[in-house]
Amino acid sequence: MVLTAALRAFPSIFRGATLRLLGKTLLLTLLLFAVLAGLLWSGFHLLRTHFGWGGGGMAEATATALTMIAAGWLLFRATAMAVMGLFADDIIAAVERDDYPRAAPRTVGWGRSLRFAVASVTRTIGWNLAALPAYILLLVTGVGTIGLFLALNAYLLGRDMADMVEPRHPALPPIGQGSRWLMGLASALLFLVPVLNLLAPVWSAAMAVHMLLGRKS
DSSP one-letter string for 24-37: HHHHHHHHHHHHHH
Q: From residue 200, how far is each of 77, 93, 162, 193 by CA, in Å?
A: 9, 18, 15, 9
Answer yes or no: are the C-beta atoms of 129 and 78 closer than 8 Å.
no
More confident residue, 163 or 61: 163
Number of domains within the chain: 1
Model confidence at 15: pLDDT above 90? no
Alpha-carbon span 137 to 144, nearest angstrom: 9
**pLDDT single digits (tens) 120-159:** 888 988 998 899 899 889 988 878 888 998 999 999 999 9
Alpha-carbon span 213 to 215, nearest angstrom: 5
Confidence band (pLDDT; 50, 70, 90) for 55?
low
Domain that holds residue 67: 2-216
pLDDT score, position 216: 60
pLDDT score, position 170: 87
Alpha-carbon span 123 to 158, nearest angstrom: 12
Alpha-carbon span 38 to 193, nearest angstrom: 26
Q: Which of 80, 83, 74, 158 is nearest to 124 (CA)?
A: 74
Alpha-carbon span 31 to 25, nearest angstrom: 10
**pLDDT single digits (tens) 191-209:** 888 778 888 888 888 899 9
pTM of the predicted model as reported, rounded to 2 decimal places = 0.78
> Which positions ≥6 away from 120 have C-beta within 8 Å?
78, 81, 82, 85, 160, 163
Residue 89 backbone phi and psi in degrees, to 5: -60, -40
pLDDT score, position 190: 87
Alpha-carbon span 8 to 21, nearest angstrom: 18
Burial of 128 from C-beta contacts in 10 A (0-12 / 13-18 / 19+): buried
